[in-house]
Amino acid sequence: MKTAFLFSGQGDQTVGMGKDFYENFECAEKVFNEADEALGFSIRDIAFNNKEELDKTENTQPAILTMSIAALRILEEKGIKADYVAGLSLGEYSALVASGVFDFKEAVQLVTKRGKFMAEAVPNGVGGMCAILGLEDSEVEAACEEASSIGCVSAVNYNAPGQLVISGENAAVDKAAEICKEKGAKMTVKLTVSGPFHTKLLKPASDKLGVELAKMQVNEMNIPVVSNVTGNIIENKEDIVPLLTKQVMNPVKWKQSIELLGELGVDTFIEIGPGRSLSGFVKRILKNVTIINVKDMKSLENALKKLEK
């Protein structure tokens, strides 16, 4: 059996996430306390109690990272290990912590800055993202190209066959979605995010993030990490900072990442974090694999039962 840990990205946050882990596991409590200490405010209180604050990008990102690492520490305590790790967008930072590349306390400070830089890069209400369901990637890309005559829009999250997220300025995103519907898209769904992530509009955030990343202690990878930018295993630790600097304004090659893990013989995928969207993507990309989700006590118990078999 080969196992991959997959870490949730932004958009999967829910109020109360990680609270039952915090209350039941000392290792999870320690992670939340470390985050609060590193940040100088209570991300725990925001994650557990405050939806309005949780949905602000600069809070969403550290909250999801903290909850994900708390869940990871429980699995590690139970002796469950990964052969590979990957994460969707923000989730890649959780994957890098899991691999030992970044210290958690430094990483939680970093993603808080990342969230601020992303929020500041484009004024709120100017841009957004939309999931397109039921079209070939090439058709969605063509729709974006056509709509780009009125503004910035591009395909950014290659999630699964027949599911591609577009991002950009609102008018152009709406136009591209309209064209996709005309082409036969089954559905278009506006995402609850605050900006046009993974587009060239995030260049200011990428530049600022690069400065912060250059200050980070980057350790050797204990577990191979799959990059969002390339869809391949990161070969050298020296590649990590350049890839993360690009990641914030480049498309996320999630489908390609999961296909690669399948080719490498991974047959068990464990999604760690507050959502279940990655599990759904894997189900659409690969057949005959085990997909497990760990987001609360009930799902943890189910996961441990499955992994004991």
Give the active site residues: 89, 198
Cα 103–Cα 109–Cα 113 angle in degrees, nearest 5: 135
Cα 260–Cα 168–Cα 286 angle in degrees, nearest 5: 20
SS3 of 99, please? helix
Cα dihedral across residues 268, 10, 233, 282: positive or negative:
positive
* Those residues with Cβ within 8 angstroms of residue 201's Cβ, 6 or more apart along the chain or in another chain: 121, 122, 127, 152, 168, 169, 195, 249
Q: What number of H helices and E strands is found in the chain? A: 14, 8
* N-to-C CA span, the chain: 12
Cα dihedral across residues 19, 62, 164, 137: positive or negative:
negative
